[in-house]
Structure 1
Amino acid sequence: TLDRCREARPANTTRAYAPKQREFKAWCDRKCFHETTRYQVTAAKMHLFLQEEVVDRQVRFKGTDRKVGVATVEMYVNAISDLFSDQQSRGANAHPHPRNRLIKALLSSLRREQHEKNKRDYVDRGVGSLLDGYCTTEDLVSISRYYMNLNTGPDLRNRMSHFLCHACLLRGESARNMELPDLFSVILENEGFTECRALVMILGHGKTNQYGRREFGSCIRHCNVEVCPFGSLALYLFFRWCVQMEDVPNFLVPENWYDIKVLKSGKGPTTSMTYRAHYDATIKAFTALGMHSKAKTHAARGSGARMAELVGATESQIRRLGRWNASTMEGCYLSALPREAMRSLAGFTPDRNTFFFGARIAKSPRAPSNTDFPVYRDLHGSVHARVSTSRCNQWAFGLVTVPSYSAFTRRPFFAGSSPYS
């Protein structure tokens, strides 16, 4: 049972803990502890290991003499404590928990020293504040234009991932694991003069959701087409199915499309975008635009929450949209559509009846024809055939219906030729 539990644990946890546990065991070998208790974790052994191997050592990157910080030391403490828990569960360790008062005092002392060092070194105090990342729509427009000017398929994907993470307050892992059946749309009534359609994402797995609990992310169209999550997703899918000529899935057969990733890699439609690709894309964009963020793949989640608060969304609404401490009522009975926060991140006021499309972004005067987009015929027919069957018809993919076509064809606010129109 214990082996089965360890195999089922999150991959990121194993990736973070395993190297540090191996390092601890290698240190035990060098110390030549008794064979029967060589790898047994105790508080004294952990403290000695931290003092000799971790605290005040240089980071393992070339070209820098920076020393490890408190966060790294805490990660070692967590990794070795995890090894202790495994030993105790197997009956191989009867000692008390190694994270005793001595370890806590060491961490507290390191935090104070880190604070004093930051003051002496004049470390940027804007890190972790409102200035960390971005906080204006103008910054979002700059990010959008950066990716659009690169004019490649992967950059359309990177642009879409950023705006979905921003509008829905998604973690990078949640966005990368998203699949086509996780997307659907619903119409929100009494939102304004024009039809308001919400894009909803089913999040069945993530950092704080390891057991398949049903969670949702949601957003509406942005008042500025350049930073609209609907438009970015429609443009990316158009590129995949109409430019790259990726095979359009048959929605009547779940096996043909349930495994297709929204953020795919270059290896195939069923392989998700890697963490490294997501990380590198964010780093390059922020560096080119002169933005600074402590977080990388989570930058949009934090900046989006701060922007929603600046516009006027309440803490409870932001908490619901970001799925922070979701309650039982939220998971079982509510719609999981915090409209105030959704309006705030879409560029509208948090009040009801403020959603609208201006004259430049009105609906297309005509429906798409087969000569415009041949792939549209296949998508539209496949989706409606699926809905008309007796099988599960809860999947209402709004991006391949007529309203989404207007999302793709509506003209942007900036002048000149544009890939949006």
Structure 2
Amino acid sequence: MNSDLSYTARLREVVERCLLESHQQTPENTRRAYTPKQKEWKLWCQRKGFASIPEGWPELYVPGRPLPDDLVDEGKLLLFMADEVVSRAPRTGSRVAQERRKRREAGAAGGVAKRKKKLQDHGQDEDEVPAADSGDEEGSFESSLKLQYNTVRSYVSAIQKLYDIQRTRGMNPAPRPQGVALKAMQKSILRTTWARKRSEYADRGENTIKDSYTPSQILVHTSAVWNEPKQIACALRTQVDFLLGNHMLLRSSNRRPLEFPDCFCLKLPKEGIK
């Protein structure tokens, strides 16, 4: 009996240490993206009033029933996405700023037309008519936009990451939430997004990697990197990482684990220095 308890305690210690190492090695951008979404999930579970985890869990698990507390299953995740994410407007971002600017411009144009009409009706000077206060409109601004596919996918990935942690700790006996229903919801959002872009004749060349810099700025980047003589190793890695991303369009998850022993050259005919 004592040996079983000792084994269980040792196993938990190893699991927690591995999870801590995994958390520390997670890129900062990923942590910054996932943490608020996971907190939002936990707050939603509290508002829904799911039961707390009972004694003897997970032996009391019954397939088909909602899991207690903030434990993740596909049904709860689908409900969370439908209630809190899919139908919600974005809070910040370039699309919201652009929509706000367009409404402000439209409101200003409408205000000018009203001022001119009032001048014509009352024969007043323009200075005598007070300008419309747009503060109330700014304060009551409600975006008509919806979250795009990448944001929705980020929510799903963040909650699935939380599930993986719960599963590793032995708290979650449910299957991983990646079934047909969840995939169908994501595909539906993607189809809706593309249909809207086609109907609006949206420029699909906007907001791509080409908008980040121009070819002439590559030399500026290279010069700035190599102007750090005390950090030659970091400068070399930064420059190689940038060039790989520029010329090969590799994602950061493919570039980060790359090491020099993994690289090799291919000699091509009529290529290179003669």
Q: TM-score under structure 2 normalisation?
A: 0.57
Rounded to whole Å, the distance in 1 between the matches of 2:164 and 2:173 is 10
Are the aligned partners of 1:201 and 1:217 in contact in 2 as well (CA < 8 Å)? Answer: yes
Aligned residue number for residue 332 of structure 1: 261
Rounded to whole Å, the distance in 2 between the matches of 1:5 and 1:32 is 31
Candidates 1, 11, 22, aligned match of 2:28: 11
Aligned residue number for residue 110 of structure 1: 189
Q: Could you say what secondary structure the match of 2:43 adopts? A: helix
Q: Could you say what secondary structure the match of 2:170 adopts? A: coil
CA separation of 1:162/1:116 partners in 2, compared to 1, >3 Å: closer, same or farther? farther
- 2:45 partner amino acid: C
Matched, 1:182 2:233: yes
CA separation of 1:327/1:18 partners in 2, compared to 1, >3 Å: closer, same or farther? closer
Per the TM alignment, residue 39 of structure 1 is displaced from its structure 2 partner at its CA by 0.4
Aligned residue number for residue 173 of structure 2: 94
Are the aligned partners of 1:42 and 1:98 in contact in 2 as well (CA < 8 Å)? Answer: yes
Rounded to whole Å, the distance in 1 between the matches of 2:22 and 2:174 is 23
Number of residue pairs the alignment of both structures matches: 192
Candidates 22, 33, 39, aligned match of 1:22: 39
Per the TM alignment, residue 337 of structure 1 is displaced from its structure 2 partner at its CA by 6.8
**Structure with higher helix content:** 2
Matches within 5 A, 1:123-142: 123-127=202-206, 132-133=210-211, 140-141=215-216
Per the TM alignment, residue 102 of structure 1 is displaced from its structure 2 partner at its CA by 0.8
Rounded to whole Å, the distance in 2 between the matches of 1:100 and 1:87 is 18
Are the aligned partners of 1:84 and 1:97 in contact in 2 as well (CA < 8 Å)? Answer: yes
Aligned residue number for residue 47 of structure 1: 78
- 2:236 partner amino acid: M
Rounded to whole Å, the distance in 2 between the matches of 1:11 and 1:108 is 28
**Structure with higher strand content:** 1
Are the aligned partners of 1:28 and 1:39 in contact in 2 as well (CA < 8 Å)? Answer: yes
Rounded to whole Å, the distance in 2 between the matches of 1:45 and 1:110 is 19
Aligned residue number for residue 151 of structure 1: none
Rounded to whole Å, the distance in 2 between the matches of 1:81 and 1:125 is 30
Candidates 236, 239, 256, aligned match of 1:201: 236
Aligned residue number for residue 87 of structure 2: 56
Identity of aligned residues (%): 26
1:351-394, CA deviations, whole angstroms, 9 ceiling, x for partnerless residues?
423xxxxxxxxxxxxxxxxxxxxxxxxxxxxxxxxxxxxxxxxx
- 1:17 partner amino acid: Y
Aligned residue number for residue 119 of structure 1: 198
Are the aligned partners of 1:77 and 1:99 in contact in 2 as well (CA < 8 Å)? Answer: no
- 2:231 partner amino acid: L
CA separation of 1:217/1:47 partners in 2, compared to 1, >3 Å: closer, same or farther? same
Q: TM-score under structure 1 normalisation?
A: 0.38
Candidates 217, 225, 232, aligned match of 2:240: 217
Between the two structures, name the one with larger relative contact order (CA 8 Å, sep ≥ 6): 2
1:55-80, CA deviations, whole angstroms, 9 ceiling, x for partnerless residues?
03110026542221000000000000
Candidates 61, 69, 80, aligned match of 1:38: 69
Matches within 5 A, 1:242-321: 304-305=246-247, 318=248
Matches within 5 A, 1:335-414: 350-353=271-274
Q: Could you say what secondary structure the match of 1:85 adopts? A: helix
Rounded to whole Å, the distance in 2 between the matches of 1:29 and 1:110 is 27
Q: Which runs of 5+ in 1 are unaligned?
A: 145-158, 166-174, 184-199, 204-215, 219-297, 306-317, 341-348, 354-421
Aligned residue number for residue 221 of structure 2: 161
Q: Could you say what secondary structure the match of 1:352 adopts? A: coil
Per the TM alignment, residue 118 of structure 1 is displaced from its structure 2 partner at its CA by 0.5
Aligned residue number for residue 111 of structure 2: none
